[in-house]
Amino acid sequence: MRKKKSPEAVEADGQKTLKLDYPQTFKVGFAFAIIMLFWTAYDFVVPLLLEHAYGLSNAMRGFIMGLDNLLSLFMLPLFGKISDKANGKLVKKWGRRTPFIVIGTIASVVLMVFVPIATMKQQEKGMAKKAEIEALRNDDAFMSGLLGRWYDDAVAGKTGSANYCDLDYLKQNKIDGKAIDRDAFISIRFDNKLKAKSGFLGLGGTTYTYDGVEIETKKEAGKVVLLGNAPSGKSYQSIKENNDHYNKYVAAGMNNYISDEIHENITKTSEGKSSLAIYMVILLLVLIAMATFRSPAVALMPDVTPKPLRSQANAIINLCGGAGGAIAFIIYTVALMFPLTVNTYTIIFASVAAGMLLLLGGFLTFVKEKKLVAKCQEICKEYGIDDFDEGEEDAKATFAEELIAEGEGNEEEAKALEAKRVRKQHKSPKVWWNEKTDEEKGKLKSFWLILASIFMWFMGYNAISSNLSVYTTKTLNLSAGVASIISGVSMGISAIAFIPVGALAAKIGRRKSIMLGFALAVVSFFLIFYRGLRSYHCKRQHVPDGYRTFHRGNRRTIHRVLLHRNDVRAGNHPVHRGPYHGQQQKRNVVPVQRDLHYHRNRIDDVCQTRRQQTYSQKE
């Protein structure tokens, strides 16, 4: 027996309840999934590619990653308007948006494969340079000289020195219970013969090997201790601890040093400059191709969805975009879990291109734009819905009405609509604005403010998302595979939140839900910023042992000073009072007793708070 269909819900007036067609909306979302598949991979992978192939500075890499946003400023409105007014054979066959989606996707797929190919020689040279430097991390002559220079430059306040040696961070930590001074810092090494291998995503036990030979371990107080000695005579445990110190205090600086060496010795050559120029041209063409169909793809959902249902439909579209991002996440995560080679990025881009083509095939199979637009307008007429906001293109309404007229065979109605559209054209902005009522002007102002808020939001969000992969691999010294997993956290949260947020918008209104989301984001970013700022100011109070800070106006200089512990504690040493006397000057008090010779056996620094208390008592 066939199952009886449950009766459809009806309103009080006997009319059927207006409901969103979820399967149809999901199919329409394939277009947005194509877009998010590309951009998710682009934002994570391209910064890594630029880093490994060219070793670009943060500013230059940020400029390249911001090119798509610069292009979007004029290309998205341009192609949105072109698709609104599109008319021709392809439009009559597929609709106004579909031709842009098809042509733009195919052009992007063809071009994007050449992005990593253009950098393959540079990648080979960059990887060779990196391997050359990393092989010297256990060489005493190389490491002592390099780390000593970093430390001295940081003490002298040389510009950019914090990229290699973070004195504030060293000051907050200790090695074997002792402060990390210059001698301790330059003694840090990394023995790459010691390897630690654990299960996927760190699951399961960890196996340690030295030069391919497995090492015995035991647990003491919850920690793994390595047993035995290396052929060099050093214990495996001491090697492990020294490697841990390297990862904690030196690795980030070494990563920056390797990038600088790649940039100076490889990218700045004539061959390197040519490679970068070719790469930029190809990347620019890819970005242009992607920009041609983003606006039409985003506009398709409102074209086929009645206005009261668009908040819910937008949640489904975003969910589809999240699915596209998840596909990209799986592609680059799996690829980056394996050792990095010159072919890794080519595999990632080729896989992303294949995914985009598969989604395009699904879109063309299930989405018939012309029929969906006509169906939407019929629903709007049936329910008396005004589906066009003031200020929207009249071409959209005209196109929909033409489809209905075409389906009914009413050519005269189509001609009348075309004549009406022509009469509304060629109005000056001033005339157009003066024709609006105060209520209409208020709505337009709100619309422009929403656009401005979206602009500011994406400006901030993209600044974080496009730097996440480099930050996690260079600064946090994580592997690219682990970094990719971190990037997937936002996708998981989005997948959980999209549909409930859409329902919330339908209940409390889109404006309130947008304000709520922005407020939560601003609070989150502010808390992160405040935490970092507070940590920065706390750390700035510390100056390395054997050095003191001297302020004169806006200038800050650091002197090497020899102090005696007892004199400092007793407060018997003379102090300098600069021109700015008072509470501010108390923070700038420095001993005038100095030793011109560098003293390796510097005494421990005295607590800043204790010094201030001593000086306050003398006052």
> By three-state DSSP, how is residue 184 classified?
helix
- What is the Rg, in whole angstroms, of the alpha carbon atoms belonging to the chain? 32
Distances (CA, A) of 270 to 110, 209, 273, 543, 590: 28, 43, 5, 43, 51
The Cα–Cα gap between 146 and 257 comes to 10
8 Å CB contact between 491 and 324 = no
What confidence tens digit (pLDDT) does each residue in 101-120 have?
A: 999 999 999 999 999 999 99
Query: Which residues contact residue 21 at a Cβ distance below 8 angstroms, ignoring those fewer than 6 apart?
Result: none
Residue 587 confidence (pLDDT): 39
Query: For residue 480, what pLDDT is reported?
Result: 85
Residues 6+ apart with CB under 8 A from 173: 180, 248, 249
Q: What pLDDT was estimated at residue 415? A: 58
Structure tokens at 396: 């959209």
Number of CB atoms found within 10 A of residue 576's CB: 13
Torsion of the alpha carbons at 230, 233, 239 and 240, rounded to the nearest 10: 50
Residue 140 binned pLDDT confidence (cut-offs 50, 70, 90): very high
Task: Tell me if 616 sits within 8 A of 585, measured CB to CB.
Answer: no
Lowest model confidence (mean pLDDT) among 35-49, 287-301, 395-409, 587-601: 587-601
What tens digit of pLDDT does each residue of 276-328 get?
Answer: 999 999 999 999 999 999 999 999 999 999 988 888 898 899 889 989 999 99
- Decide if 473 contacts 48 (C-beta within 8 A): yes
Length of the chain, in residues: 619
Q: Map residue 246 onto helix, strand or coil.
A: helix
d(CA 272, CA 211): 36
- Nearest alpha carbon to residue 252 among 340, 132, 162: 162
Nearest alpha carbon to residue 115 among 269, 276, 294, 265: 276
d(Cα 184, Cα 244) in Å, to the nearest integer? 14
Q: Number of H helices and number of E strands within the chain? A: 27, 9
Kindly state the helix (H) or strand (E) to which residue 423 belongs, with its residue range.
helix 411-423
CA–CA dist 87, 104 (Å, integer): 17
* Cβ neighbours for 269, distance < 8 A, ≥ 6 positions apart: none
pLDDT of 590 > 50? The answer is: no
Joined tokens for residue 98: 């579909």
The CB density around residue 401, as the number of other CB atoms within 10 Å, is 22
Write down the pLDDT at residue 381: 86
| CB-CB contact of 505 with 489 (8 Å) | no
Q: What is the pTM of this model?
A: 0.73
Ranked by mean pLDDT, which of 494-503, 533-542, 566-575 comes out on top? 494-503
Coil, helix or strand at residue 162:
helix
As a whole number of angstroms, the distance between CA 143 and CA 463 comes to 34
Spans of all domains in the chain: 128-270, 547-618
pLDDT, tens only, 164-198 = 998 988 998 999 889 999 999 999 999 999 988 87
φ, ψ dihedrals at 203, nearest 5°: -80, 150
What mean pLDDT do residues 332-346 have?
92
Query: Which strand (E) or helix (H) includes residue 557?
Result: strand 555-560
User: In angstroms, rounded to a whole number, what is the distance separating the alpha carbons of residues 14 and 233?
Assistant: 90
Q: What is the pLDDT of residue 421?
A: 59
**Cβ neighbours around 1 below 10 Å, total:** 3
Whose tokens are 């629903």? That residue is 379
Name the nearest CA neighbour of 540 among 553, 527, 515, 558: 558
Average pLDDT over residues 230-250: 91
Cα–Cα nearest to 114, from 281, 271, 266, 273: 281
The alpha carbon of 184 is separated from its chain's Cα centroid by a whole number of angstroms, namely: 35
